[in-house]
Amino acid sequence: MICLTDLFTIGLGCELAAAYLLARGLLVSTPELVRRSTGFYDFSAPAAAAQASDRVDARTGLFAFAVGFLIQGVAYVLAAAGVSSSSTCGAAAGVVAGSLALAAAAFVIAIWSATREEQLKRLVLEIAHYGTGSPTRHELPSARRLLLMGQEIGLRPTRDEATRPDGTRRYAERVFNVTEFRPGDELDALADAQH
């Protein structure tokens, strides 16, 4: 049975996982920092994909912080109301509490891992609706930007997509399930991305 002190450690486990997720975008390697900060004409797919990735990680991290604080808040309220913790103390209780904290952290990371790619794809698709430096959302996304950002988040084109003249469009259809694009921007994107 879970006792009152276990709630504190479960909340702590959620918060540790949250801290990891929030720090991921800040603790990147030097080569990654250089890659992200390299200037590109018109649009920087590495920078846009990195910011999208950081945003997805931060959203999950903030949610995990909220859950951890909520669980600890419940434990504090129960303690203030006079609910006492189990009288069992010692090494076994410490192992149980520590195991629960690790299980909570692992659960948060598992949820993040299972949902991250779909969240990234949705955010990249949304970014592709915008033009360079413009706060105006276009009705249709840019197939070229979908390809460039998609590759940055690890979604590679197939051999067929890489060799066909309409490969960028086929890639965006397969990966992002989009069939209409802003006209004129997809023609040379795969060739540009391979150089």
Same-domain status, 75 and 112: yes
* Amino acid letter for position 136: T
**Is 123 among the domain residues?**
no
Domain stops at, among 90, 117, 144: 117
Number of separate domains in the chain:
2
Pairwise CA distance, residues 26 & 158, whole Å: 32
- Per residue in 77-124, pLDDT tens? 878 777 776 656 666 777 877 888 889 999 999 999 999 999 999 999
Q: Are residues 97 and 145 in the same domain?
A: no
Q: Which domain holds residue 107?
A: 1-117
Q: What is the pLDDT of residue 36?
A: 64
The confidence score (pLDDT) of residue 151 equals 92
Residues 67 and 2 in one domain: yes
Q: In this structure, is residue 79 part of a structural domain?
A: yes
On whether both 112 and 137 belong to a single domain, the answer is no
Q: What is the pLDDT of residues 115-132, one digit of tens each?
A: 999 999 999 999 898 877
Query: Is residue 136 domain-shared with residue 89, that is, in the same domain?
Result: no
Q: Is 95 found in the same domain as 135? A: no
Does residue 122 lie in a domain region? no
Residue 195 has pLDDT above 50, yes or no: no
* Residues 43, 110 within the same domain: yes
Query: Which of 77, 95, 117 is a domain's end point?
Result: 117
**Is residue 157 a part of any domain in this protein?**
yes
Distance separating alpha carbons of residues 137 and 130, to the nearest angstrom: 5
Q: Are residues 109 and 137 in the same domain?
A: no
